[in-house]
């Protein structure tokens, strides 16, 4: 044990980026995930192995590995001998997604008194992002900002696993907006609500914030479900 060793031990932890290069399957999965989330691939679309593998220059086997990753995230659904499709959520799914969000967001907000400062400011940043987007009338970015807001709320819990589950739930929620054609306008009226919630958290009054959030989720769910079921009837059930 020399002096050099001591210095080395004190060195900062290895940055995440230094992890060994990602596999092709993961990169393809990342790309497809982005396509699904921002609607380049709409719900119900079938992903042809042959065409995708040719288009992106990867083998079918590699592509299938990516498919497996994404079906575990519920973004794709695998049907035996029929292929993989972009998941098309039903109104039951919408209800369940909100149910899951209640479990994730409300406890996180209620326990926000002890949350670290940067977790709180992340919430504020998401609100600001949304307001900036409203400024220029960018509906799409408003939706993204709203997702960030709720991701930040869940992040108050400080748990990596909850963060990850939350982002899956939000990604799937985004699919809901894609099945209906009325994409992001739903978020517009909620911006001021978000601002209020953030204020309560910032002034360390988490219980009031939780009450507000709970109301938010209720009305948001109701609005979505009714719009969704109306659309389900219109488009034909099956």
In this structure, are residues 177 and 108 in contact, taking their beta carbons and an 8 Å threshold?
no
How many residues bind to DNA according to rule CB under 7 A?
A: 22
User: Which partner in DNA, a second copy, none is near 42 (CB below 5 to 8 A by kind)?
Assistant: none
Token output for 34: 């982005």
CA dihedral (54, 59, 65, 66) in degrees, to 10, reads -30
Residue 96 interacts with a second copy (CB under 8 A)? yes
Closest by CA position to 101, among listed 159, 157, 169: 169
Q: Is 119 in the site for a second copy (CB under 8 A)?
A: no
223 binds DNA (CB under 7 A): no
- Residue 68 as a binder of DNA (CB under 7 A): the answer is no
Single residue of 78, 95, 141, 196 touching DNA by CB under 7 A: 78
Q: Which one of DNA, a second copy, none is in contact with 50 (Cβ closer than 5 to 8 A by kind)?
A: DNA
Q: How far apart are CA 212 and CA 201, in angstroms?
A: 11
From the list 70, 51, 71, 69, the residue with the least C-alpha distance to 60 is 51
Q: Which of 193, 217, 46 is nearest to 131 (CA)?
A: 193
* Residue given tokens 């042959």 in the structure block: 50
Interaction between residue 80 and DNA (CB under 7 A): yes
- Please state the closest distance from residue 175 (CB atom) to DNA, in A: 20
Number of C-beta neighbours around residue 9 at 10 A: 8
- Please choose which of a second copy, DNA, none residue 58 contacts, taking the beta carbon within 5 to 8 angstroms, the exact cut-off set by kind: DNA
Interacting partner of 162 out of a second copy, DNA, none (Cβ under 5 to 8 A depending on kind): a second copy
> Which of DNA, a second copy, none does residue 102 bind to, with CB < 5 to 8 Å depending on kind?
a second copy
Dihedral of CA atoms 135, 139, 131, 189 in degrees, nearest 10, equals 110
Among 38, 40, 46, 99, binds DNA (CB under 7 A): 46
Binding-site ranges for DNA (CB under 7 A): 20-21, 23-25, 46-50, 57-62, 64, 78, 80-83
């Amino acid at each position: 044990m020399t002096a050099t060793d001591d210095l080395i031990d004190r060195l900062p932890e290895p940055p995440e980026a230094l992890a060994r290069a990602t596999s092709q399957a993961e990169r393809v999965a990342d790309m497809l995930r982005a396509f699904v989330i921002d609607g380049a691939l709409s719900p119900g679309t079938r992903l042809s192995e042959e065409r995708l593998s040719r288009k992106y220059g990867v083998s079918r086997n590699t592509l299938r590995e990516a498919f497996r990753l994404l079906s575990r995230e519920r973004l794709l659904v695998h049907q035996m001998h029929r292929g993989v499709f972009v998941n098309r959520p039903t109104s039951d799914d919408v209800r369940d997604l909100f149910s899951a969000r209640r479990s994730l967001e409300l406890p996180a907000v209620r326990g926000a008194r002890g949350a670290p400062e940067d977790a709180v400011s992340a919430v504020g940043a998401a609100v600001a992002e949304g307001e900036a987007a409203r400024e220029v009338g960018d509906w799409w970015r408003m939706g993204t900002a709203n997702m960030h807001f709720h991701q930040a709320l869940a992040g108050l819990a400080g748990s990596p696993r909850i963060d990850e589950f939350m982002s899956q739930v939000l990604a799937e929620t985004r699919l809901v907006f894609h099945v209906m054609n009325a994409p992001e306008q739903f978020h517009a009226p909620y911006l001021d609500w978000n601002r209020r919630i953030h204020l309560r958290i910032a002034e360390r009054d988490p219980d009031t914030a939780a009450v507000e959030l709970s109301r938010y989720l209720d009305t948001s769910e109701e609005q979505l479900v009714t719009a969704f079921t109306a659309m389900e009837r219109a488009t034909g059930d099956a």
